[in-house]
Amino acid sequence: MNAAAANIGVVGLAVMGSNLARNLASREGNTVAVYNRSRTKTDELVQAHPEAGFVPAFSYEEFAASLSKPRTAIIMVKAGGPTDAVIDELVKVFEPGDIIVDGGNAYFPDTIRREKAVRETGINFVGAGISGGEEGALNGPSIMPGGSDESWVTLGPILKSIAAVADDGEPCVTHIGHDGAGHFVKMVHNGIEYADMQLIAEAYDLIRRGTGRTPAEIADIFAEWNTGELESYLIEITAEVLRQVDAETGKPLVDVILDQAGAKGTGAWTVQTALSLGVPVSGIAEATFARSLSSHPEQREVARVLPGPGTEFQVDDADGFVEDVRQALFASKIIAYSQGFDEIRAGAAEYNWTIDLGAVSKIWRAGCIIRAQFLNRIADAYAEQPELPVLATAPYFADALTRGQAAWRRVVIAATQAGIPSPAFSSSLAYYDGLRADRLPAALVQGQRDFFGAHTYKRIDKEGTFHTLWSGDRTEIEAEDTH
Ligand code: NBP
């Protein structure tokens, strides 16, 4: 072993860790120490990539000794218990001022807890969301680090060296905020990813069932869309997936894949957190629920007896319908991102993080799964108005919604009449209409709440809190707002 030869270390050498280690090693100035619980992965990585000049370690003590100070190590192990186990070991061999980075998909409250506990030892703990999957880890991910300002001084240049680079040359990493802020933002990123994927899937389904186009023909439509305002990695890969033919059956691959979508939990976390924060992220929620619904074959089997509208779904103007769906997709996507950024703002307020929403949109422009041209527009919107309360009201997006809303409504009507589920399209439209409404039936809900629970209400015409004596003479009294 080469004592104190490495400026950065990676613990956990499964697919993500080994790719990240290779990425780090490929950048000027980095020497990378590597450690894995079971020795085989370390041996295999070091043997397969002699060009990387890895410094292998076979115990935590050896790993710590191989790192120059402040020691900096990125943990890439299974989220949950394994992460805690590695932190416990590293804390024993690291010293105050050293930096432990968790690059796994941790749930942000765990990161807050770990940061607090590790900080007491004088060691810095950074929860860093890393997006882009295996390919991103190897060639340049989008990185969302939290943690202290002190750790960012050492970590910033290292992470900038391995991050994806946007078209304007900016690396896709920024110090998101303290403790769990990085993993929070990564969580919302994944939630938005769920919504984006579901919207694309609904667009495909409607076009296929409404126009009878084949998956290969729809692949061409998505490829075409990828040259315009919808340009994004997810649209690009959708075209690839739809074009794929199954070698065994000769059928489109999408027709032989079981229609039950999996999930690893980040969508559910985003929705659970949004519920706690009181932020309506209906697009993300519907996308998460749509996966859940798909994954209940026993319920879907018995529900086949339930009636549909009983009409054939065949649009008259196929090209016109495809264009309507494109506009509906763009409008719904604006809403999904607007809701996601709302959740980040609310999270920042709740947890006392200072998060630059424009900077977040910029680091998602490359390397991550939701990378898209569109994110430049979000960055522009926040550059113009950093405190923008509703992203969808920024001039570019408001204009797109104005142009697209008629098509959006036609698509939701067509889907509803045809009995084709489009939960993300329709819930986005309902959110849009709810948000822009002069008056909502929430007034009636307040009346109901006051009736059964004396929860009180406010009036539109005077200050104060009121309660009606529903079981008495139904007069209104001014009430203490204690509910
Ligand atoms: P896995 O999530 O499959 O984890 C496997 C690694 O965890 C192995 O190195 C294993 O060591 C190690 N490990 C376990 Br399990 N328990 C351990 C323990 N008690 N002590 C020490 N090490 C332990 O790896 P991955 O798919 O490379 O993902 C790594 C992290 O990156 C995860 O948090 C994941 O959620 C996140 N992530 C993954 C992706 C992706 O596309 N896969 C994308 C973004 C983020 P062993 O070899 O000794 O069993």
Instruction: Please check the confidence at residue 481 and state whether its pLDDT lies above 80.
Output: no
Report the largest interatomic distance among the alpha carbons of the chain, rounded to a whole angstrom.
87
Q: Mean pLDDT across the stretch 413-419? A: 96
| pLDDT of the residue at 1 | 47
In the reported structure, the alpha carbon of residue 360 is separated from the centroid of ligand 1 by a whole-number distance in angstroms of 26
For ligand 1, what atom is nearest to the CA of residue 18? 27
CA-77 nearest atom, ligand 1: 7
Which are the contacts of 468, defined by CB distance < 8 A and separation ≥ 6? 450, 451, 474, 475, 476, 477
17 CA distance to ligand 1 centroid (A)? 7
Which residue's alpha carbon is nearest to atom 16 within ligand 1? 82
Q: Whose CA is nearest to atom 13 of ligand 1?
A: 77
Distance in angstroms (rounded) separating the CA atoms of residues 413 and 477 = 45
The Å distance, Cα 80 to ligand 1 centre, comes to 10
Question: 143 has which bridge partners?
Answer: 130, 173
pLDDT band for position 267 (50/70/90)? very high
**pTM, to two decimals:** 0.96
**Which ligand 1 atom sits closest to the C-alpha of 40?**
47
CB-side neighbour CA atoms (13 Å) of 317: 8
Model confidence at 480, pLDDT cuts 50, 70, 90, reads: confident
* Residue bearing the CA closest to ligand 1, atom 41: 133
Top mutation candidate among 18, 39, 78, 110 for ligand 1, by most atoms within 8 Å of CB: 78
**What is the helix, strand, coil percentage profile of the chain, to 5?**
55, 10, 35
Q: Please tell me whether the peptide bond between 70 and the residue prior to it is cis, using omega within 30 degrees of 0.
A: yes
Q: Which amino acid is at 54?
A: F
Residue from 41, 186, 333, 362 carrying the catalytic annotation:
186
Beta bridge partners of 142: 131
Predicted pLDDT of residue 373: 86
One-letter amino acid for residue 425 of the chain: F
Residue of 15, 16, 131, 142 to mutate, ligand 1, most atoms within 8 A of C-beta: 16
Model confidence over 54-97: pLDDT tens digits?
999 999 999 999 999 999 999 999 999 999 999 999 999 999 99
* Closest residue to atom 12 of ligand 1, CA basis: 77
Cβ(92)–Cβ(29) under 8 Å? no
Q: Which of 110, 135, 134, 93 is nearest to 9 (CA)?
A: 93
Pocket of ligand 1 (CB under 6 A): 12-17, 36-38, 41, 76-79, 82, 85-86, 104-105, 130, 133-134
How far is Cα 127 from Cα 114, in angstroms, rounded to an integer?
9
The encoded tokens of residue 172 equal 């896709």
User: Among this protein's residues, is 264 annotated catalytic?
Assistant: no
Q: Who's near 311: CB < 8 A, 6+ residues apart? A: 417, 418
Please tell me which residue in 89, 193, 286, 343 is annotated as part of the active site. 193
- Mean of pLDDT values over 258-287: 97
Under a CB-based contact definition with an 8 Å cutoff, are residues 450 and 470 in contact? yes
What average pLDDT score do residues 291-306 get?
97
- For the chain, what is the mean pLDDT? 96
Q: What does the pLDDT read at residue 88?
A: 98
- Whose CA is closest to atom 4 on ligand 1? 78
DSSP classification of residue 169: S
Closest approach atom of ligand 1 to CA 41 = 47
Sign of the CA dihedral running 442, 443, 449, 451 = negative
The verdict on whether 462 is a catalytic residue reads no
Q: What is the structure's pLDDT at 3? A: 57
Identify the pLDDT of residue 312: 85
pLDDT of amino acid 311: 86
Identify the band that residue 314 occupies on the pLDDT scale cut at 50, 70 and 90.
confident
Residue 4 confidence class, pLDDT cut points 50, 70, 90: low
